[in-house]
Structure formats: C-alpha cells, structure tokens
C-alpha cells in the first residue's frame, strides 16, 4: 500500500509525524518536520501567488481566538453542536436530533434544547437503532466541536479557537470594505490554523484537531457582479454532480467550466470560475489530475451557511479525500454579523444616476403617543413606520390601526404625521454575497506526497523518489563533492553550496557516504537537482564546471559554476524544464539507466 509507505517515509525523512510522542502522543495533532514544513510553506506561497496576488486580493491575519459573540452570530455555537445520546444497553452513541427527526415530523431538531429532545425521545418511545433498547431516560449531551477557552483572568469572557479562518475575515468586514474603498467585488484571503475538537481524528493529516486552511472570501454584489469567466471557460473539469451521485448508475460529467456554468450544472458562475482557477492551480502544484474531481455536496451534506457547495477531491491510497470546498455562502455570514454586531456589514452601492423616488414617511407625535401608550410608545411608532412603507393608503382614513404585541392599537391619522416625500437616492446599502474557496493545506500536502511518490529502477537498483514540482520541493538543490578523499573537491563543493544559498536557494550539502547514496537521499525528499563537484570540472583550461543531475531521469549535464544559480532559477520557478539544460549544456554520460 502506498499509504503506509508514505507515512513511513514522512516519519523517517521528516515530513510529518504525530505530535508529543514523548508524552504518549496526542490524537489529532501533527508536527511538520523540516521537509514537511518547507513543503507546506511552498504550498501556501503557491496558493498566495494564485489566490491573493494574481486575483488582486488582500491577505489579512486575524486572531485564532475569538469571543463567544462571534460564534453566536456565525451559528457555530449552535450549528457546530452535536446532540449525542448514548444507549444504556449497548453503549452505542447516536445523534439525538437525527433520531427525533426520524420519529417525528420535526425537521430541525438540532435547534431544540437538549432537555426537550430528551422528552421527545421518551414520549415517542424512540429506541436505540443498534439494539432496540428504548432510549427514554438517557441524557442528551451536547458536544460542540469548538475548543473553548477563557479570555482574560477572573470574570473572563468565554472565547473559542476559530473553527474556520473565515470568521476572522467576516467580522472585520466593516473595516475591510474601507480598504477596498467600498467597491465590489473584492476578495480577502487568510492562511492560518483552524481548530475543531473532532470526536475521532483519523487518517494522518486528513482529520486533525488543528489544521491549516487557506481561504478566500470573495465579496460580490448579489446581482451585478460577474466573474471573469472567460479566463477559465475552456478549462476542462471532471464534475460529479449531486444528482449523478444519487442516481443508480451515476457517472462523472466531463466538461469545461464554461459549459458547466452555461448548462447550470454548476449553479453559480462565481463558483464555476473558482473551480476553473483551482483546477489549473492544482495541476500546476503537482496534483495528478487523473486522480482529481469536483464533487457537489448532496443536499443533506451542506453546512448551515452554504447555499451550494462543491468539493475538490483527490484520490489518495484508493480513497477520495476532500481537499477544498467551494461554497456559495450568499449573505448568510454578513447578515448574521450585521444582526448581532454593531457595525454595518453592507456596502453602499452608488447608482449610475440618482433616483428620485416617492417615499411615504411618518413622523409620529411622541408627545401624544408617550402619555397614551407608555412603554409601548416606541413600538407603536415603529409599527406606524412599517405600515407607511407597506400600505401608504391606510393613512388616508381618519384613524389608523396597527398591531403591537398582538394587540390592535388605533391612533388618529394626524398623530402619525403621514406624508409622502420626494427623495433623491444616490444608491443603496447592499449586503454582499460571499463565494468561498476554502483549501485544506495539510490535505494538499498529503495529496502532493501521495501523487509524487514513485518507485523505479536506477542502474538495476530499486529507488523511491518524490517527483514534486521543483517550485514546491522542500529543497531546491543539493551539492556534493563526488568523492571526499580530495580536499579540493570538498572545499569547492562547500563554497558552491554557500554561493547558491547566498543567492537565495534552499540548498542541502552532503559529503557522507557514496555518491549514489547521497543521490537517493535527495530523491526521497524530492530535491529536483543535485550538483556534483568532480575533478573533471576543475581541471582543464576552461572555467570550472559542475554536473547537474535531474531527479526523475537521473540525467546529467555539465554546467559552469559561474552563474549556476541564475541558470537554475527558471527551472526552480517551473518556468522552464530540464530539457533546455539538455540542449544548452554538454550531457554527462554516467552510464546509468532508469526505468
């Protein structure tokens, strides 16, 4: 199984491993070793290049801990709760809200308090689905997936570690829109850790309690803004829509982004646009596109905020794993924060031409309403305003009636001070909609390792190597003296390594063991180029040369030391391939066969 080999390689070579081993380990937490941290950082940088810089977006960095109020508004305090009930007989745990929904006509049992759910379980005689024992009398326990903490000492306020980086962007929207000078559309990105106290972390990097997300929140005008779909219209994608998943003989849909949007397979052009951008990005960073698809969420699968959602999935070790989600979150988040928070989570959109509209208004005489209705006066005034907007004609009568707290209240029309005014509207306050491409960085790293892992034969010996894209590889180049019994070679190799480092390359130096062993070490961590200093390169009339060996083919060319970093730069950036080295330089016949 490739999976176990990758896990073994990851531990042995320093990509990732379970954290806190000295204390028995902690489930759900992984540490990235030197290779893994470098690879992960390169993934993040590549993501930034594409989703922040190339899209003209802004990146922010918000705190990991946020106060309770944020998550009351976002819905995570309720929506992230699982109601569990444990069977007293067989010990099996079940989702209490799901059981209630199955046995009653209640559709959203999750919104009910636990005590009520306990009563419903008793009254409807709901039994354990596993063993049939009635569950009456069992406690319904809330399990919230958020890590709770206290902010400050003493009478501190409750806080939570963010379950997604997105909220850090949403809560700062009132300020972020200022930085965007109030113009839609604009996008804000964030790369950082998110935390979920998973019931059962599994599968290495796949489900962790602390993980890294790279998220883009694209804020758009709900009607007016169109994505630059033409940029990715021809990008070919493999889609797995919800209806195909539910069909008996469901199949993939091979299409282009443009067609998928035209035909409504992907409902939102914005989601379609980012599927296209993501497809190209994944391909560029080295995901095997034969093991990649976009799968639409089934209706019951969607998060509490998502109107439509597609996942990017990659096949790792025979399983499809979710590596990114593309949600159309509509105005859910901003509306919620607008409702719960103090600031304006809207953008003022100026009309092309100011509009003159007639607006019915009231200016209730509070000196009359106050004595008459006491504490309810304000509510009466508000009801009158609502009525004016809804049904101006009502004010033509001598008296108007409105409902306040379920009671009908009648006031003189005079008191309402009804009038119709002509007002000039220069624009309107719009709550933007949000399109959210959200990437799992660790899962992307895992995918890259799984898809880059190769086994072949070099010179009749089996070798394993990581065929990572040079731009993503943890190390740019390794430098060796061919042999160590000649001081000149060692010294030169050290100085070549230093020179390359000074010019910004990430370089490994190794003079231990045979040359073949050193090549294999680098192959195994995916270093794309090995630079070897040999006697042939230092002797002779011309300038000093070294050999440069390409990882996947083990092919070698002889390259002048002078300007080596510049020569390697386009290859490391992924802008050129080793082919051009083979053309430009003398090849070295090492007599090595790869297959």
Binding mask 470-509 for RNA (x = CB under 7 A): ------------xxxxx--x--------------------
Q: Which of 86, 259, 365, 385 binds RNA (CB under 7 A)?
A: 86
Q: How many angstroms separate the first and last alpha carbons of the chain?
A: 21
Q: Which of 458, 478, 508, 525 binds RNA (CB under 7 A)?
A: 458
Nearer to RNA, 410 or 485 (CB): 485
Both tokens of 369, joined, read 């309403």
Number of Cβ within 10 Å of residue 575's Cβ equals 10
502-541 binders of RNA (CB under 7 A): 512-517, 519-521, 523-524, 532, 534-537
CB of residue 221 to RNA, shortest distance in Å:
24
Binding mask 127-166 for RNA (x = CB under 7 A): ---x--------------------------------xx--
251/245 Cα distance (integer angstroms) = 7
Nearer to RNA, 36 or 201 (CB): 201
388-417 binders of RNA (CB under 7 A): none
291-310 binders of RNA (CB under 7 A): 301, 303-306, 309
Total interface residues for RNA by CB under 7 A: 83
CB of residue 515 to RNA, shortest distance in Å:
4
Q: Which of 55, 59, 89, 93 binds RNA (CB under 7 A)?
A: 93
Peptide bond into 185 cis (omega under 30): yes
- DSSP class of residue 4 equals H
Chain centroid offset of residue 512 CA: 41
Q: Which of 459, 502, 575, 579 binds RNA (CB under 7 A)?
A: 459
16-45 binders of RNA (CB under 7 A): 18, 24-28
Q: Which of 213, 296, 431, 446 binds RNA (CB under 7 A)?
A: 213
Number of Cβ within 10 Å of residue 464's Cβ equals 14
Q: Which of 445, 547, 557, 559 binds RNA (CB under 7 A)?
A: 547
The stretches of 475-594 forming alpha helices (DSSP H) are 487-502, 515-525, 535-538, 564-572, 578-584
Nearer to RNA, 464 or 503 (CB): 464
CB of residue 517 to RNA, shortest distance in Å:
4
- Written in H, E and C, the secondary structure of 230-249 is HHCCCCEEEEECHHHHHCCC
Contact assessment for residue 325 and residue 310, using Cβ atoms and an 8 Å cutoff: yes
184/224 Cα distance (integer angstroms) = 9
* Packing angle, helices 564-572 and 487-502, rounded to 10: 60
SS3 134: strand
Nearer to RNA, 1 or 397 (CB): 1
Stretch that binds RNA, among 58-66, 78-86, 346-354, 402-410 (CB under 7 A): 78-86
190/174 Cα distance (integer angstroms) = 17
User: Interface with RNA includes 327 (CB under 7 A)?
Assistant: yes
CB of residue 194 to RNA, shortest distance in Å:
6
Give Rg (Cα) of the chain: 31
SS3 548: strand
User: Interface with RNA includes 91 (CB under 7 A)?
Assistant: yes
Residue 424's DSSP bridge partners are: 356
Q: Which of 88, 134, 174, 203 binds RNA (CB under 7 A)?
A: 203
Nearer to RNA, 229 or 592 (CB): 592
Stretch that binds RNA, among 87-95, 237-245, 345-353, 444-452 (CB under 7 A): 87-95
Both tokens of 44, joined, read 């993040």
Stretch that binds RNA, among 94-102, 238-246, 375-383, 405-413 (CB under 7 A): 94-102
415-454 binders of RNA (CB under 7 A): 438, 440
450/14 Cα distance (integer angstroms) = 15
Run of H or E residues at 387? helix 377-390
């Amino acid at each position: 199984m490739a999976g176990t080999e990758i896990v073994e390689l990851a531990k042995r070579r320093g990509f990732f491993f379970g954290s806190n081993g000295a204390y028995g380990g902690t489930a759900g937490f992984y540490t990235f070793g030197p290779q893994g941290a470098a690879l992960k950082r390169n993934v993040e940088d590549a993501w930034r290049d594409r989703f922040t810089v190339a899209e003209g977006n802004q990146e922010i960095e918000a705190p990991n801990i946020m106060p309770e109020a944020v998550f009351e508004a976002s819905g995570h305090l309720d929506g992230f709760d699982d109601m569990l009930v444990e069977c007293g007989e067989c010990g099996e745990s079940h989702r209490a809200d799901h059981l209630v929904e199955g046995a009653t006509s209640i559709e959203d049992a999750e919104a009910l308090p636990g005590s009520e759910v306990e009563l419903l379980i008793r009254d409807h005689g709901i039994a354990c689905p596993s063993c049939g024992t009635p569950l009456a009398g069992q406690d319904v326990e809330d399990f919230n997936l958020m890590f709770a903490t206290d902010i400050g000492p003493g009478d501190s306020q409750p806080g939570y570690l963010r379950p997604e980086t997105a909220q850090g962007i949403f809560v700062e929207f009132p300020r972020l829109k200022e930085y965007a000078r109030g113009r839609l559309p604009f996008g804000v990105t964030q790369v950082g850790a998110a935390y979920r106290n998973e019931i059962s972390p599994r599968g290495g990097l796949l489900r962790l309690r602390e993980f890294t997300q790279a998220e883009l929140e694209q804020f758009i005008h709900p009607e007016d803004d169109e994505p630059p779909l033409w940029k990715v219209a021809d990008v070919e994608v493999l889609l797995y829509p919800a209806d195909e998943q539910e069909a008996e003989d469901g199949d993939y849909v091979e299409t282009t982004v443009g067609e998928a949007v035209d035909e409504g397979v992907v409902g939102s052009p914005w989601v379609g646009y980012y599927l296209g951008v993501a497809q190209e990005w994944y391909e560029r960073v080295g995901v095997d596109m034969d093991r990649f698809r976009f799968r639409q969420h089934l209706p019951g699968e969607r998060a509490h905020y998502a109107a439509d959602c597609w996942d990017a999935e990659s096949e790792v070790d025979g399983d499809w794993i979710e590596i990114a989600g593309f949600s159309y979150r509509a105005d859910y988040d901003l509306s919620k924060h607008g409702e719960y928070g103090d600031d304006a989570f809207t953008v003022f959109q100026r009309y092309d031409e100011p509009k003159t509209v007639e607006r019915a208004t009231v200016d209730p005489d509070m000196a009359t309403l106050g004595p008459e209705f006491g504490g309810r006066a304000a509510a009466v005034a508000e009801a009158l305003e609502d009525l004016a907007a809804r049904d101006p004609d009502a004010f033509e009568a001598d008296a108007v009636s409105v409902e306040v707290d379920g009671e009908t209240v009648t006031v003189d029309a005079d008191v309402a001070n009804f009038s119709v005014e002509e007002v000039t509207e220069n624009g309107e306050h719009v709550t933007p909609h949000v399109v959210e491409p959200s990437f799992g960085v660790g899962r992307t790293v895992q995918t890259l390792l799984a898809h880059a892992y190769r086994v072949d034969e070099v010179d009749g010996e089996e070798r394993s190597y990581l065929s990572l894209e040079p731009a993503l590889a943890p190390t740019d180049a390794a430098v060796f003296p061919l042999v160590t019994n000649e001081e000149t070679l060692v010294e030169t190799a050290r100085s070549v390594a230093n020179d390359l480092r000074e010019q910004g390359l990430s370089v490994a130096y190794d003079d231990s063991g045979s040359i073949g062993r050193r090549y294999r070490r680098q192959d195994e961590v995916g270093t794309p180029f090995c630079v070897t200093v040999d006697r042939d390169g230092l002797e002779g009339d011309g300038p000093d040369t070294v050999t440069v060996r390409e990882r996947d083919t083990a092919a070698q060319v002889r390259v002048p030391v002078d300007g080596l970093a510049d020569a390697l730069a386009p290859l490391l950036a992924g802008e050129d391939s080793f082919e051009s080295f083979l053309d430009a330089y003398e090849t070295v016949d090492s007599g090595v066969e790869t297959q």
